[in-house]
Chains A and B, each alone.
Chain A
Amino acid sequence: MTTRGVKLKVAIVGCGKIADAHVEEVGKLAAAEVVAVCDREPLMAEQLAARYGVPRHFSDFAALLTEVRPDVVHITTPPQSHLALAAQSLDAGCHVYIEKPFALNRAESLTIIEHARRVARKVTVGHSFAFDPLTVELRRLRDEGFLGDTVHVESHLGYNLSGAFGAALMGDRAHWVHGLPGKLFHNNLDHVLHKIEDFIPEDAPTLVARATRRLPAGFGDERDDLMDELRVLIEGAHATACATFSSHAVPVRHYARVWGTRNTVTADYVSRVLVVEQGENYPSAIGRLLPAFAQARQYGRGGAKNIRRFMKSEFQFFTGMNELFRRFYHSIQDDGEPPIAYDRIVRISGWMDDVFAQVNAALPRREVGR
């Protein structure tokens, strides 16, 4: 039975940077409204509530659960607290949306999911790019056989250490990122790996990870232990993949590229264009002339499509997050399957465990310097 039409009461715990996006995106949906925010630092909860007109704010999460009785809790705290907060929310009868990474490791991920099943509540994880229109289109091309069989997947995420997130963690040796098993990678690798997992859905592919640090050391504290470049080679039964995370490559890019036995497709998440490279053969020099124009045409069409979406106010910054929220809420209201299958959440947690184990085993780091 569906309960659509009745607004879900959403509470957000953790009032840091990403909480702004959560409040804004929930506010765009008819299915839900943010009724309370919580942060163990009362001033942070207060500021978020004040800026967005959220009716109530708390520093005691138990008090929020008792007094507000939300239907859904969004956990946007550092990952170290996800397990405990998820358990508390589930026990209070709430469905739970957890920002990535879902938990600190695979064991914790399994614990949360088993808990959710036990109390008949739903959970999901903030793999927002999985619901970005580009990723949705990429999966459609795969499902329709346009790509043929997958041969190789390349997933890349660039990161700006001088940006808002990067500067915050590099400016504070006590920042929670420095306490994660996979440090900087731990907070970002979900975005890289879930695009690969779409095409290599295997629990234990062969996985080789290497990390380096280009940023010169010199802080004299935890920040000197932070690796900032990661390469992961994944070998599945029928396809391979390469995951790269770079804090230094310029420009800062974000893309996924899938090579198929018929065609190759690149989803460019920065210029927000999907580029198809078709397996057409032209004779001699013509074969060298035409592909560039074919690519230019695709970028042109993609750009024009983006303008049309902009004109219709559909070119939102957090489109994928918004769609994920919408599907999660509908799965709650319709008592349907959550938008991200639990085995996928656990699989990616397991892959990340493997990556961090290899990276940490290789310490002390290799200095490649500049």
Chain B
Amino acid sequence: MKRLVTGAGGFLGQAVVERLLALPNADLRCVVRSAAQAERLREKAAAHPGARLEVVTGNLLSRADVARAVDGIDVLYHLAASLKGSPADIFMNTVVASNNVLDALAGRPVTIVVVSSMGVYGTANLARGAVVDETTPLEPHPERRDVYSHAKWRQEKLFRDRCAHAGHRLIVIRPGVIYGPGGPPMSARVGLNLFGLFLHLGGGNRIPLTHVENCADAIVTVSENPDAVGHAFNVVDDDLPTSRAYLRRYRREVTRVRSVRIPYAGMLCVSRGVEWYHRHSRGQLPAVFTRYKTATLWKGTRFDNTKLKCIGWTPRVGTREGLTKSFAYLRAASKG
């Protein structure tokens, strides 16, 4: 069975590749952007002599590269997306790239595991502390969210619409905040750095963390289970820390952080002020905070992982242990 991983050079991509290489008779093709990423994957494959790894260095915006990548595959793990850049770039590299992949797969039904995001849920109008499971309606106003969430929402819709017609077996994965050694230090759900001062916005909210290895396990688990086809799955770990506890541990185990706590009600007021100023000044400063965005990030929504557990996934890395390793990595990195 030939498996293709897009975005294989990324933080999550590398972990997924590691898991797939460990499968019996692994036959893997990976798409990466650079020669350096390709080299890293080949080093990982060296530890799995029975596995077959083929690396395609290319760009999913190139139809020729995509055609080469999807040739003869049975399973697609679509992780490629853009986390930063201009809005146009994020859409190009997330949505248009996905469309190119689906075009190249036309007439050849395969199993597709697409990595979406929890940002696709419509959480702004839920009650504080509401629990989001896979039955929660998707975002009704993606254009009011940050560009990344908007692009992920459109990407997931694209897969749903096109896979239904093309006969692909689609499985959607919606991870929370992916963390682990080598990952980002702080989620926006905890807070934001503003000119050297950290605005602590999460307070007592549970941060929907998932360790990168647990998330990779989830992706591989659903792809191996026929019952998962046609379903979406939240991926969050158990025993999640509150934002406050996360920041406390970060301070203790990584580095000092000068922070100020802004409660949710206060953040709504700030957001209202930012929206007003954005309008009043004719866009002199961007509306980085809006009440809508604030509600989606810091209202205290919780995410449920029961459905994923029902098909056999359990978080292999406990949150306490995962954070210890992650913070140790960050501490070492901060010391250069």
Contact = CB atoms under 8 A, between A and B. Distances in A.
B310 interface: no
Interface in A305-320: 310, 313, 315-317
B121 interface: no
Contact of A44 (B33, B91, B158, B280): B91
B143 A168 contact: no
Contact of B150 (A51, A53, A165, A172): A51
Interface stretch (A14-22, A105-113, A198-206, A338-346): A14-22
A313 B279 CA distance: 10
Nearest to A221: B57
A16 B85 CA distance: 12
B91 A43 contact: yes
Nearest to B143: A50
A172 B281 CA distance: 37
A28 interface: yes
B282 A313 contact: yes
Contact of A310 (B59, B283, B284): B284
A218 interface: yes
A173 interface: yes
Interface in A1-29: 15-17, 19-20, 24, 28
Nearest to B36: A218
A218 to B, nearest CB: 7
Contacts of B92: 44
Given A47-B154, A174-B62, A218-B35, A168 B85 contact: yes
B284 A168 contact: no
A317 B280 CA distance: 15
Interface residues of A, number: 31
A179 to B, nearest CB: 13
A207 B33 CA distance: 39
Contacts of B96: 41, 43-44
B49 to A, nearest CB: 28
A28 B61 contact: no
B88 A172 contact: no
Given A43-B95, A51-B150, A20 B88 contact: yes
Which interface residue of A20, A165, A171, A317 has the most chain B CB atoms within 10 A? A171
Contacts of A20: 86-88
Interface string B180-209: 000000000000000000000000000000
Contact of B88 (A16, A310, A316): A16
Given A41-B96, A51-B150, A172-B61, A17 B143 contact: no
A315 B59 CA distance: 39
A286 interface: no
A164 interface: yes
A167 interface: yes
Which interface residue of B151, B154, B284 has the most chain A CB atoms within 10 A? B284
Nearest to A15: B88
Interface string A23-46: 010001000000000000101101
* Chain B binding surface SS class: helix
B99 interface: yes
Interface in B149-175: 150-151, 154, 158
Which interface residue of B35, B62, B283 has the most chain A CB atoms within 10 A? B283
Nearest to B61: A172
B59 A173 contact: yes
Given A28-B282, A43-B96, A218-B35, A164 B62 contact: no
B239 interface: no
Contacts of B99: 43
Given A50-B143, A51-B143, A218-B35, A313 B281 contact: yes
A171 B99 CA distance: 19
B95 A47 contact: yes
Nearest to A20: B87
B89 interface: yes
Given A41-B96, A313-B284, A164 B91 contact: no
Contacts of A15: 88
Given A44-B96, A171-B59, A174-B61, A17 B89 contact: yes
Nearest to A53: B143
A165 B33 CA distance: 17
Interface in A183-238: 218, 220
A220 B38 CA distance: 14
Nearest to B280: A313
A166 B142 CA distance: 28
Nearest to B63: A174
A51 B59 CA distance: 26
Contacts of B61: 172, 174
Interface string B78-102: 0000000111110110011001000
Interface string B59-76: 101100000000000000
Contacts of B87: 17, 20, 47, 51
Interface in B1-49: 33, 35
A173 B86 CA distance: 18
Interface of B: 33, 35, 59, 61-62, 85-89, 91-92, 95-96, 99, 142-143, 147, 150-151, 154, 158, 280-284
23 contacts: A17-B88, A20-B86, A20-B87, A28-B283, A43-B99, A43-B158, A44-B91, A44-B96, A47-B88, A47-B95, A47-B150, A47-B151, A47-B154, A48-B88, A164-B85, A168-B85, A171-B59, A172-B62, A174-B61, A313-B284, A315-B284, A316-B283, A317-B284
Closest 6 CB pairs of A and B: A313-B281, A17-B86, A164-B86, A50-B143, A17-B88, A47-B91
Given A20-B86, A24-B283, 15 more contacts: A17-B87, A41-B96, A43-B99, A43-B154, A43-B158, A46-B154, A50-B143, A51-B87, A51-B143, A164-B86, A165-B86, A174-B62, A218-B35, A315-B284, A316-B282
